[in-house]
Every structure is written in C-alpha cells, then in structure tokens.
Chain A
C-alpha cells in the first residue's frame, strides 16, 4: 500500500541554520509528492509539490526533489527564519492522499 515516513521531531534550529527534513515513501506506480505546512493556529497549507521523478518543487526558499531511485522527497531550506516555525507534513497522492506523522520545527532567534 501507499505510505509516507518522515523524520521524527521535534527539530530545533537557530535562525539562518540549514534545514533538512527527511521523507521517504512507499507506493505503487507514480505518485505525486507534497509538503504541507501547518502554522500555529492555522490549517494545513500546501508548501510545494512534485508530480514526477526528478522534478523539484520550491516555494518560500524551501525545496524538495522527487527521487524515485531512493523513494525520497526530502525538504530543505538553506537559511531558516523564526517565521518558519511550524509542523511540516510530507504527503503522497496515489488515488488518495497519505500523510506522514509530521515534523515540528522550532526556529530560535
């Protein structure tokens, strides 16, 4: 079946640090891959997506590359800000949407 495994949190970084949140998936066929973000007190929002192998999704300085050979979609940002503090969910769509458990990121000034 389809599933997503992402790095457990919480992750605490200082401002301007480099961020990586690992995500791997299991799926049949060719799923679309997503990162969603949930800011405190808000609903889930799409951060970025990639629909085929080797595609790179990017938004707000975040990037993730669809790696079929390693079944991964790791989220990266070169320099995090306090405003990036949120919970990040990796997800895949393959007939239905499956989410990872979420990784809480806290960025300290």
Chain B
C-alpha cells in the first residue's frame, strides 16, 4: 500500500504475555519512529531508527520494551511480560529523511489492551 501499515490494529493481551507489534513503513523511507499514545494524551516518543540503526531508544519505558528493524524496512516493537500500564495505542511513523526536513507519515496504530 501507499501508506504506513501497522498490524494488528487491535491486540488484547493477558498480563504477563509477550506481544509483538509490526510496522510496515512507506517503501524507501529512511527514518522510522515508534510512539506510545495513552488515552487522552499526545504521542510519547519511544524509539527512532535510521535505516537498520536504532539511533535513539531513550523513550522506551523499561527493559521489557524492545524494537528492531533488521533490514531497514519493517520494524517490530516487542513488549515482554505485559503490564496493565502498557495499555495504549502504539503509533509508527516513517519519513523519507530526517523528520525535521521531510514530512513524517503515521500509521493508524495498534491499540493494545492488557487485561
């Protein structure tokens, strides 16, 4: 497709379960970002990739969160031993170059509910 695609759109996980969220960026986009958006809040930065290199992971809230982009295209955000506070919408965005210079395009997000 032409846009950023995220899957699944909705995920319900039992507390303690591991989950994997997928992001397919726009083809050729160098930069990829993950954000966490809690209900009624703005997106909070999690991590940033430039091609396959993870340049910034300062926003990952704990060592239970792990992201990868091994071939510089598709990215996966993995959350181990999910907790209720992990419930949020996880957004992926990609841009052709650096975000400051070119527009970033967002996916529709994955809504994670931990029960």
A-B contact count (CB 8 A): 46
Complex CA distance for A93 and B104, rounded to whole angstroms: 11
Assess whether B1 is interfacial by the CB under 8 Å rule. Answer: no
Which residue of B has the minimal Cβ distance to A42?
B108
Task: Please give, as numbers and ranges, the residues of chain B lying within 8 Å of A42 by CB-CB distance.
Answer: 108
Asked if A89 meets B42 with Cβ closer than 8 Å, knowing A32-B100, A96-B48, the reply is: yes
Residues of chain A lying within 8 A (CB to CB) of residue B104: 46, 97
Partner of B41, one of A44, A91, A102: A102
CB distance B41 to A96 under 8 Å?
no
Is the pair A46, B103 in contact by a Cβ cutoff of 8 Å? yes
Let me know if B66 is at the binding interface, CB within 8 A.
Answer: no
- B99, A43: Cβ atoms under 8 Å? no
Which residues from chain A contact B45 at a C-beta distance below 8 Å?
A: 96-98
A26 at the interface (CB under 8 A from B): no
Residues from chain B with a CB closer than 8 A to the CB of A32 are 100
Q: Which residue of A lies closest to B92 (CB)?
A: A43
- The reply on A71 being an interface residue by CB < 8 A is no
Contact A99–B43 (Cβ < 8 Å): yes
Q: Is B42 a contact of A43 with CB atoms below 8 Å?
A: no
Q: Within the complex, what minimum Cβ distance (angstroms) separates A49 from chain B? A: 8
What residues of B have a CB within 8 angstroms of the CB of A45 in the complex?
Answer: 106
Contact with B along A2-45 (1 / 0, CB 8 A): 00100000000000000000000000000010001000001111
Max count, chain B CB within 10 A of own CB: residue among A93, A94, A97, A101: A97
Cα distance A101–B44 in the bound complex, in angstroms? 9
Residues of A within 8 A of B44 (CB): 99
Task: Type the 1/0 row for B92-108, where 1 means its CB is closer than 8 Å to any CB of A.
Answer: 01000001100110111
Residues in A lying within 8 Å of B, measured CB to CB: 4, 32, 36, 42-46, 49, 51, 89, 91, 93-94, 96-102
B binding-site residues for A, Cβ under 8 Å: 3-4, 33, 35, 40-45, 48, 56, 91, 93, 99-100, 103-104, 106-109
Instruction: Across the A-B interface, give the 10 residue pairs with the lowest CB-CB distance, nearest first.
Output: A99-B42, A44-B106, A43-B106, A43-B108, A93-B100, A101-B42, A99-B43, A32-B100, A102-B42, A46-B103
